Amino acid sequence: MSSRHQARTYALQILCAFDFNRSFLNKEADLEKISESIFKNFAPVNDFKEKEFVLKLVKGVIEKIQEINEKIKKFAPQWPIEKIAVIDRNILRLSIFELLFSSQVPPKVVINEAIEIAKLFGSSSSSKFINGVLGALYEEIKENK
């Protein structure tokens, strides 16, 4: 597993913990404590060199949460955002952040990573749902270029 793929899984875990604590709404949870807990419990002790990348992703999602949630609402209108499974919702948030606000990774790679992470952590239908939402967003991005 590549270090960036692993980094995205840690970012997802942090975002899910943050979301679970409803921190996007009231900022009660301490992002630093959540992040340190995830790194301490899941990241290899000295081998993991992508902590900065993880935190950049997480902080970016948190900063852009309103814009990201609007995209989810637009491309999954039949699903109220609070009804989307926590895992799926945060895979979408993470991927939409990368697609719209980070130019480090090509869009097709972002979408593929999201689908693979959904297969690992989501339900049996998560990867199809994620692919559908991100595919529609990607089409809009291509049209607006």
> Is pTM beyond 0.85 here?
yes
- 14-55 tens-digit pLDDT: 999 888 876 555 555 577 777 778 777 776 656 677 888 888
Please give the CATH architecture assigned to the domain spanning 3-143. Orthogonal Bundle (1.10)
* Cα–Cα distance for residue pair 49/55, rounded to 1 Å: 12
* Cα–Cα distance for residue pair 136/129, rounded to 1 Å: 11
Average pLDDT for 82-97: 96
